[in-house]
Structure 1
Amino acid sequence: MEEARPDLISDLPHEILRQIISFIPLKAAVRTSILSNTWRTLLMPLQPHLHFDSNQTTSEIMASLLKPCNGPELCKFSLINQEREEDDFTFLATKGVEKELHLNFSDGEQTKANFNLTFSATKQTTNLSSLRTLHLRSVNQFSGKLVSNLFSECQLLESLKLEKCMGLEIVDIEANHCLKSLAVIDCPNVMSISIYGTNLESLWYKGVLPEIQIKSSLRLVDVVLDLREGLGEREFDCEGVLSLLSSLRDIESLTISGWLLEWLCAAGVIFEKLQFRFNKLKELLWIDSVMNRTKRDSLACFLNISLILENLFVKIDQNLISFTCPSFNHYWHEPHLWMDYETVKSNASQLEHLKTVELAGFGNKEDQLVLLMDLLLKKAVTLRSMRVVSPENQSWCVSKIPESQLKHTSGSHLKRMVVSSPSKDYFFGLTEENNSVFHPAIGHC
């Protein structure tokens, strides 16, 4: 019997192929273009030069864009100013059958001119009112007005994402009860983000540290503050950061750049004396370029107000920028800045709910790794699993071994490294995870 050709499916009629991709998520449908020229032509712009007069209303433009479709579609729009007889801007629109729209304005000339975006949902009935997901990429000052008007008609929008918007300075969002997810990614000039939306559950920010104001009582569950670009040109506003953290006190999952908590400690913040606690925080991901003494102890201080934490992830990425903590003029600060490690450990709170710990990006015998493991094993009384992942992505299971039992656990069938604890009275056993076993005197992974 003749073997089936791997590309046999590509020989199907275009109508059938379009029906196939109509049943898969839009991102996956777009990725099919790499399979062959046949798949690539499925998402060629249907209207490669759809021109509009700039005097036409946003509703007229978007009504044409959001006509019902039976499968993913890609359109190219050019907005024309008839007086100048040239394009105001050009953008690509990708839409899916699940009420999803991606607008990419990077096709035309980019500008770094500063501009603001105001999103205010109002009660209107248009073709846009049923849109659920809106992804905006490379919005500039020319397309900003169109985007703001677009959002005002999205009554049922659940997910909004802004990405790589050069020159964008201020984002002001007044959403209705439907908006659940907001992401602002790699917009390097953002200075301020104001959010009003009672049902927002997920906030994801990546870039320089902006001023973020939460103007209402949100139902936020998951927050990402990936501040890998540092402060930008702004000064560090300690009170503003504390106000933000206070507004996030009821979240369940937090990703945060370690330098931010280190700077708060150095600026005089004593976490245990704050008027709020993270009483619902169950998962914490700390990301940074290095783990030094002050960062380690700052993490310990933050854990003092995160007492029901169940999962802790520390990720060290040496490709991230390392920011030097400035000198702050004050006469008080977190005690760890002048205490030795043993005092810091004794002052740390018990982590009664912590179940799993993963420490990624560390070398095998880094001193700070040993001290961090020691601190967590001392305070996490119900810990079930601790893993160390090397920069080469090799995973190790950590167990605590009393010196008296060290010989009994060093069998030749285990691939193990042994590291002495700071007190020298016990050892850490690092066992390759695929060879890890349970030992009642040690613990397990």
Structure 2
Amino acid sequence: MQESLDFISSLPCEILQQIISLIPLKEAVRTSILSTAWRSLWSPFQVELDIDSSHITSDEASKKLMQAMAMFLKSRTSPELLKFCLSIPEKEKGLVFFAIKGVEKELCLDFSGGKQITSNFDLILEPSCPIETLSFSSLKTLHLRSVNHLGKNLVSTLFSNCQLLESLKLEKCTGLQSIDIKANNCLQSFIVIDCPNMVSITISAPSLKSFWYRGVLPQIQLKTSPQLVDVILNLREGLGQNEFDCEDVLSLLASLIDIEILTISGWLLEWLCTAGVIFGRLEFQFSKLKELCWIGSLMDRPKRDSLACFLNIVPFLEKLFVNIDQSYSSIPCPFFHHYWHEPHLWMDYATVKSNASQVEHLKLFKLIGFTNEEDQLLLIDILLNKATNLNSMIVTSLDNQSWRVSKIPYSQLKQTSRCYSKQVGISSPNKECYFGLREEDSNGLCPANGQCL
């Protein structure tokens, strides 16, 4: 059989450049792995600037750098890659970063190309009067990667000139300890991923609709975000070097009562229950929450029971996803010196089941990472009893095979098995019934915010 030829890669560079100019930046960058021809499109043009990066906020230095950035953004070539080199007097290496411009008013600044110096720093981002006419009004999306203490002034100055910025992402900023954002009415999306030294995040953004976070648990304060509807708290790295403050976490949850979609790490709910929090007695509920995604490395008894307790304050929940990902780190729960906790927490299963609240509005439950373990089956049993209007219950195994779950009395087991040849029967842990697992295509049943970072 004749091998297929790669005709597209043999096209002239001008045509290849035109092709990638028609697709979003994230997809365009991926073309660099296709072949040498595509990779050559991403050869950076180097820009040398004689600016002391430690004084980037001075009027003269800021004006010079912002002019260079403005010329870069106004050029007609998209996407385009530039390498900026800023000198630092009396030092061998200055600030080096790559700037990648996308076709859809996107800009990515990557500081990982230079020498990585671990030094703790804070980042304050707030709008201010732009430098002359350099308002960067065309910029809608800003992605910052590996920002260090040398680049923080540049980032702050650039942000203050992005008057119409709608989306901001911070990723892999080692040394970054705190973020303080005071945004205008345009910022709608804020994402923070893998900043291992993070201690605190303060956000004031009147039009913010989504806040996605992945990393260690910091102190998070949402001061002015009345339009927030979608939140991810993927705390897969645990506490890091921070301390667990129950009041801070409850204050954060209280600021999220109007959201509609929430992803949260299971260990955080377990720790709150262990520390003495009784969800049913809190002064707030998530009355607008329609979709909840629980994530963790395993489903054991404390995590199962704490999730059941948390459901007491989500009375109108319609979709529940439980994502068990064994690649996540296991976060062991410490011992808290309290004599009170959820009334049925860690009691026998019959007591837990009888005290669990009805989830009358739940229509869909999907368990991802199903391994047929007892605590998973007990959670299924609770929901089958308490979710009176449940339309669909799906479990997906580690090899991505899915089954629809139904409750089958022992008396109907043989009859049901004859009707569905591909159905598997699993006895419930309490031996009251069987769970019927019938093969199901559930690829379209996913959390609204994708893969939970």
Same fold, judged at TM 0.5 (above): yes
Give the residue type in structure 1 aligned to 2:379. L
Give the residue type in structure 2 aligned to 1:24. I
Q: 1:76–1:93: 8 Å Cα contact kept in structure 2? A: yes
Q: How far is 1:320 from its partner?
A: 1.5
Give the residue type in structure 2 aligned to 1:348. A
Runs of 4+ in 1 over 3 A off after TM superposition: 3-6
Secondary structure of 2:143's counterpart equals: strand
Closer/same/farther in 2, CA of residues 337 and 93 from structure 1, 3 Å limit: same
- Aligned twin of 1:60: 64
| Structure 1 CA distance for aligned equivalents of residues 105 and 39 of structure 2 | 22
Give the residue type in structure 1 aligned to 2:67. A
- Aligned twin of 2:5: 6
1:375-422 CA distance string (max 9 Å, x none): 001111111111111122221211111222111111286223212224
- How many residue pairs are counted as aligned between the two chains? 430
Deviates more, 1:5-14 or 1:239-248: 5-14
1:111-141 CA distance string (max 9 Å, x none): 1111000001124241523311110111111
- Aligned twin of 2:393: 386
| 2:144 is the counterpart of 1:136 | yes
1:209-239 CA distance string (max 9 Å, x none): 0000111243111111010111112221000
| Structure 1 CA distance for aligned equivalents of residues 203 and 245 of structure 2 | 19
| 2:75 is the counterpart of 1:76 | no
Secondary structure of 1:360's counterpart equals: strand
CA RMSD of aligned residues (A): 1.9
Q: 2:260–2:291: 8 Å Cα contact kept in structure 1? A: yes
> Normalising by the residue count of structure 2, what TM-score does the alignment of the two structures yield?
0.91
Give the residue type in structure 2 aligned to 1:122. S
Give the residue type in structure 1 aligned to 2:66. M
Q: 1:99–1:130: 8 Å Cα contact kept in structure 2? A: yes
Secondary structure of 1:57's counterpart equals: helix
Q: 1:119–1:172: 8 Å Cα contact kept in structure 2? A: yes
1:273-303 CA distance string (max 9 Å, x none): 1111001111111111111111101001101
Unaligned runs of 5+ in 1: 436-445
Secondary structure of 1:374's counterpart equals: helix
Q: 1:63–1:127: 8 Å Cα contact kept in structure 2? A: no
| Structure 2 CA distance for aligned equivalents of residues 370 and 11 of structure 1 | 55
Deviates more, 1:56-65 or 1:190-199: 56-65
Q: 1:192–1:212: 8 Å Cα contact kept in structure 2? A: yes
Question: Which of 337, 356, 365 is the equivalent residue of 2:364?
Answer: 356
- Aligned twin of 1:221: 229
Deviates more, 1:27-36 or 1:416-425: 416-425
Unaligned runs of 5+ in 2: 443-453
Q: How far is 1:4 from its partner?
A: 11
> Normalising by the residue count of structure 1, what TM-score does the alignment of the two structures yield?
0.92
Q: How far is 1:17 from its partner?
A: 2.0
Q: How far is 1:43 from its partner?
A: 2.0
Give the residue type in structure 2 aligned to 1:324. P
| Structure 2 CA distance for aligned equivalents of residues 52 and 348 of structure 1 | 66
| Structure 2 CA distance for aligned equivalents of residues 207 and 42 of structure 1 | 34
| Structure 2 CA distance for aligned equivalents of residues 11 and 290 of structure 1 | 49
Q: How far is 1:5 from its partner?
A: 6.2
Identity fraction in percent? 60
- Aligned twin of 2:384: 377
| 2:204 is the counterpart of 1:161 | no
| 2:267 is the counterpart of 1:259 | yes
Give the residue type in structure 1 aligned to 2:280. E
Give the residue type in structure 1 aligned to 2:324. I
Q: How far is 1:150 from its partner?
A: 1.2
